[in-house]
């Protein structure tokens, strides 16, 4: 089978694809990953050496030639099934059909940065136009399932919801306080001055330091600036406790310089670490006390699942699939999007209540183990693929 994606780089959807291929029994399918643009060293996370990896190097803007290159590649590979993901690859369903691929699946994992509610007329028109070509749709959240049925007109029999799975062996609570702080710098300052590779040494931060954490690609839809503003606002809400608060914001992207500048101008640079993209996210999560997802739109957020598996309470915005994952008052809290003051108020409630953090963190870990296993995710995809290939009667 061929998976068609825009770019194979660090991201939630891409991480889910890696998990799917790594966990799927090798006797079920052989896989090829076709990147409309390119792939990065992120592809090294694939543990199977029989996965074909192809880059079509699509140019910015309109590049009609990329469909010719895709058509020729599909004719060469002759996959039984093509699985496209998100709006950026939806139009390749036409190319796959023209190349004679008989079974075609499309997954909606999140919203386009310029269309966070899916209501853009041009995008809806494209989705409706492609609809007859797609055998089965996968929506990751209840929100996306409702959108595909009500706004795009996809019959319920051709819709399947599959939650992302999380590796609860890789993401787990810390074994000790030393384990929690081992990768942190001795002082959270000054922002980008800390090297990418840090020695594994115990932190000299005060024992009562509280770490507010987030992991994201720093682009507008993920709202890193809103999180920075909420952290700054905590200085007003918790003036006595604020000196022992720290913000750990992992990830890179176009808004990283703006976030750094905002925090520096507010005079809180020494309490913030922006280490950029990291390969040691599980270890860094174990150093956190509280996890935040301030996004303006989401599908099913992998970092929420990873934080839950790590035993962290999660504060997330009430958008997309976040309410599917975060049970308010049980495993975390939901707040309005684009409201830094509301986010700061929610943060303050947790920072002043250690028993709540422990209780909801334990509940989050239990739910991750119970409801979001990698095995359940893989079985869900196998059922959809079998259905698309006609191995399972439609509706079962």
What does the pLDDT look like over 338-380, one tens digit per residue? 999 999 999 999 999 999 999 999 999 999 999 999 999 999 9
Q: What is the pLDDT of residue 202?
A: 32
Q: Are residues 191 and 217 in the same domain?
A: yes
The residue that leads in pLDDT, 208 or 200, is 208
Q: Residue 201's pLDDT band (boundaries 50, 70, 90)?
A: very low
d(CA 85, CA 107): 5
Q: Name residue 8's beta-bridge partners.
A: 39
Assess whether pLDDT exceeds 90 at residue 383.
yes
d(CA 103, CA 9): 26
Assigned domain for 131 exists: yes
Kindly write down the DSSP assignment for every residue of 66-111, as one continuous string: HHHHHHHHHHHH--SEEEEESHHHHTHHHHHHHTT--EEEEEE-S-
Kindly write down the DSSP assignment for every residue of 198-249, as one continuous string: -------S-TT-EEEEEE---SGGG-HHHHHHHHHHHHHH-TTTGGGEEEEE
Q: Are residues 156 and 52 in the same domain?
A: yes
Q: What is the pLDDT of residue 48?
A: 93
What does the pLDDT look like over 46-58, one tens digit per residue? 999 999 999 999 9
Q: Are residues 348 and 325 in the same domain?
A: yes
Asked if 304 and 314 touch (Cβ cutoff 8 Å), the reply is yes
Q: Are residues 190 and 129 in the same domain?
A: no
Q: Residue 113's pLDDT band (boundaries 50, 70, 90)?
A: low
d(CA 290, CA 343): 13
Assigned domain for 395 exists: no
d(CA 316, CA 333): 6
Assigned domain for 24 exists: yes
Assigned domain for 393 exists: no
Q: What is the pLDDT of residue 226?
A: 98
Q: Residue 192's pLDDT band (boundaries 50, 70, 90)?
A: very low
Whole domain around residue 352: which residue ranges? 177-371
Between 205-209, 268-272, 285-289, the lowest mean confidence (pLDDT) is in 205-209
Nearest one of 65, 2, 4, 70 to 31, comparing CA atoms = 2
Instruction: Sort 161 into a burial class: Cβ within 10 Å, 0-12 / 13-18 / 19+.
Output: middle
Assess whether pLDDT exceeds 50 at residue 124.
yes
* Rg of the chain in Å (alpha carbons): 22
Q: In this structure, what CATH number is given to the domain that contains residue 70?
A: 3.40.50.2000
Task: Verify cis geometry, omega within 30 degrees of 0, for the bond prior to 190.
Answer: yes
Q: How confident is the prediction for the chain on average, in pLDDT? A: 90
Assigned domain for 172 exists: no
Percent of the chain with pLDDT strictly greater than 70: 91
Q: Where are the beta strands (DSSP E) in 140-185?
A: 159-161
3-state DSSP assignment of residue 187: coil
Kindly write down the DSSP assignment for every residue of 310-353, as one continuous string: TT--EEEESSTTHHHH--BTTTEEEE-TT-HHHHHHHHHHHHT-
Assess whether pLDDT exceeds 80 at residue 394.
no
Assigned domain for 394 exists: no
pTM: 0.83
Assess whether pLDDT exceeds 70 at residue 243.
yes
Q: What is the pLDDT of residue 168?
A: 95
Q: What is the pLDDT of residue 265?
A: 95
Q: In this structure, what DSSP letter does residue 59 have?
A: P
Q: What is the pLDDT of residue 186?
A: 57
Q: What is the pLDDT of residue 184?
A: 67
Q: What is the pLDDT of residue 195?
A: 37
Assess whether pLDDT exceeds 50 at residue 200.
no
Nearest one of 392, 382, 321 to 23, comparing CA atoms = 382
Nearest one of 245, 231, 230, 249 to 339, comparing CA atoms = 230
Q: Are residues 338 and 382 in the same domain?
A: no
The number of folded domains in the chain is 2
Q: Residue 14's pLDDT band (boundaries 50, 70, 90)?
A: very high
Q: Are residues 359 and 384 in the same domain?
A: no
What does the pLDDT look like over 164-180, one tens digit per residue? 999 999 999 998 766 66
Distance of CA 230 to the CA centre of its chain: 21
Nearest one of 98, 91, 81 to 32, comparing CA atoms = 81
């Amino acid at each position: 089978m061929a998976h068609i994606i825009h770019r194979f780089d660090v991201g939630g959807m891409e991480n889910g694809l890696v998990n799917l291929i790594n966990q799927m029994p090798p006797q079920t399918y052989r896989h090829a990953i076709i990147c409309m643009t390119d792939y990065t060293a992120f592809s090294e996370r694939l543990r199977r050496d029989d996965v074909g990896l192809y880059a079509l190097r699509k140019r910015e803007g309109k590049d009609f030639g990329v469909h010719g290159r895709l058509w020729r590649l599909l004719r060469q590979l002759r996959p039984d099934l093509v699985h496209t993901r998100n709006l950026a690859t939806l139009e390749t369903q036409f190319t796959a059909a023209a190349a004679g691929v008989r079974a075609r699946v499309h997954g909606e994992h999140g919203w386009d940065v310029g269309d966070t509610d899916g209501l853009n007329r041009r995008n809806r028109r494209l989705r409706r136009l492609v609809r007859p070509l797609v055998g089965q749709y996968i929506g990751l959240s209840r929100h996306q399932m409702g959108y595909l049925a009500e706004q795009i007109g996809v019959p319920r029999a051709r819709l399947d919801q599959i939650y992302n799975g999380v590796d609860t062996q890789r993401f787990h609570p810390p074994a000790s306080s030393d384990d929690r702080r081992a990768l942190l710098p001795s002082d959270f300052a000054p922002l980008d001055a800390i090297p990418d590779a840090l020695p594994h040494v115990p932190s000299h931060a005060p024992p009562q330091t509280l770490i507010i954490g987030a992991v994201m690609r720093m682009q507008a839809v993920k709202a890193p600036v809103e999180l920075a503003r909420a952290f700054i606002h905590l200085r007003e809400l918790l003036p006595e406790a604020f000196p022992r608060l720290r913000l750990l914001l992992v990830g890179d992207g176009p808004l990283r310089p703006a976030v750094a500048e905002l925090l520096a101008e507010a005079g809180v640079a020494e309490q913030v670490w922006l280490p950029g993209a990291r390969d040691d996210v599980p270890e860094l999560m174990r150093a956190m006390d509280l996890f935040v997802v301030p996004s303006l739109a989401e599908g099913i957020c992998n970092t929420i699942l990873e934080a839950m598996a790590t035993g962290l309470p999660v504060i997330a915005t009430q958008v997309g699939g976040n309410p599917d994952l975060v049970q308010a008052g049980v495993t975390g809290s939901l707040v309005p999007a684009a409201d830094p003051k509301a986010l700061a108020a929610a943060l303050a409630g947790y920072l002043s209540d250690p028993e709540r953090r422990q209780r909801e963190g334990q509940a989050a870990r239990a739910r991750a183990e119970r409801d979001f296993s990698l095995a359940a995710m893989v079985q869900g995809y196998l059922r959809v693929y079998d259905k698309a290939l006609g191995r399972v009667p439609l509706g079962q």
